[in-house]
Amino acid sequence: MSASDELTIEPRSGRPADACVFILHGLGADGHDFEPLVPALGLPDDLDVRFILPHAPRLPVTINGGMTMPAWYDILEASLDRRVDEAQLRASAERIQGLVHEQIAQGVPAERIIIAGFSQGGAVAYQAALTFPERLGGLLAMSTYLATVDSLEPAAANRDLPIEIHHGNADPVVPEALGQAARDRLEALGYPVRYRQYPMAHAVCPQQVADIGPWIAARLGR
């Protein structure tokens, strides 16, 4: 994997990073989509966090007439069941896990690494974080769904991983029922989940950004 496969934002303090947040974009976007979010989070000056915003590969997407676009995996049907190419999804999750391992090798402890994702990227974030073999710092799932609900094999190390789920109550792309279904399934599996609903469509709103910053700070603060 080349360096061009992800956008990296180093700590604004200029000090070496001792924590890392991955943010995975949605279908048709790229890592730059969430670049403006980083300064908007208002993280404490003493929190030396590296942000990594990977770019998805370009794939044909069935529900978009086979058009090739940035996609973590193919979506075969846009029904409520969201039939997807699970092999591609798992491959994308494994790629993200490889990037996490690289951060650990560079000295960032696994428990100071958060994986976040929006929409399609959120489905990959679920798979990558819940199956990662070392204890992570947290998982943020935004306007997304648990695509691998029937095949998920959670790692023991992350069976109590703090999970934050955000969803808009007027989302026409990923209905809120899918976010709620993910919450219910994860709670049934014993995960500590906090669910936040926002008055928005398929997007990220200012109120949500104001909640994300303190959540990251709480997870990564010393």
Catalytic residues: 119, 171, 202
β-pairing, 67-70 vs 113-118, is: unpaired
Phi then psi for residue 207, to 5 deg, are: -60, -40
Helix (H) or strand (E) holding 177: helix 176-188
Report whether 78 contacts 104 (CB < 8 A): no
Residue closest to 82 by CA, chosen among 23, 110, 123 = 123
Phi then psi for residue 192, to 5 deg, are: -80, 110
Residues near 60 by Cβ (< 8 Å), separated by ≥ 6?
A: 66, 67, 68, 74
